[in-house]
Amino acid sequence: MIVSIKAGRPLSADVLKAFNPDPESFSHRLIEPLGGQPSIARAAIRALLVTGIKGDGIRAALTPLLRSLDGEIRHGAGELLNTPEAIARARVPDLISDIRSNTLATRQRAARQLDELGIEPKEITSALVRAVESGNFAAREGLIAALDAANSSGKNPLDLLNQLAKADDADAKPRAYARAALREIKPE
């Protein structure tokens, strides 16, 4: 079973149920494949969704996957960790994508949902809601860029905005967006 997963070939739920692997030892053996190529990580996630997880090691291996660009991996990790924070963290990239929508109602709903999740700094998400509501494109773009970068890196989005706004070597447009975002956070 592990060989198939390491090759990126997902196992059917029926096969996994027939073999009925011990969740703790199976979880331990899938820690390494979770860090592999997306197809391998997806195969491991799919298997673990059937068998369940057990052990601190597997939980530690799943946690960084909550920031994966791959939605199946990200949401699978959230489901396996099964905590409100993990499930919320897995939703962040989807909400950021919706905030980029051409439809105002979609942007507004996504910004409010991100604010309500409470896993990103409130000053950032509240400013994003205001920017979306008021049509402040530059601030919205700066806040989205900071949240996107923070979600990928695990860094604080406010720190990222401050760095970009002060960077001399940054492109003019992203720097202007970062400055507009900071003004939305702390209006003068």
At 75 the pLDDT is 97
Q: Please tell me whether residue 18 adopts helix, strand or coil conformation.
A: helix
Q: Any idea where the domains of the chain sit in the sequence?
A: 2-82, 90-183
- Residues 18-59 have pLDDT tens digits of 998 999 999 999 999 999 899 999 999 999 999 999 999 999
Position 89 pLDDT exceeds 90: yes
Q: Which two tokens stand for residue 116?
A: 């309500």
What pTM value is reported for the model? 0.85
Compute the distance between CA of residue 160 and CA of residue 110 in angstroms, rounded to an integer.
Answer: 22
Position 169 pLDDT exceeds 80: no
Among 76, 69, 114, smallest CA distance to 92 is for 114
When pLDDT is cut at 50, 70 and 90, the band that residue 170 belongs to is: low
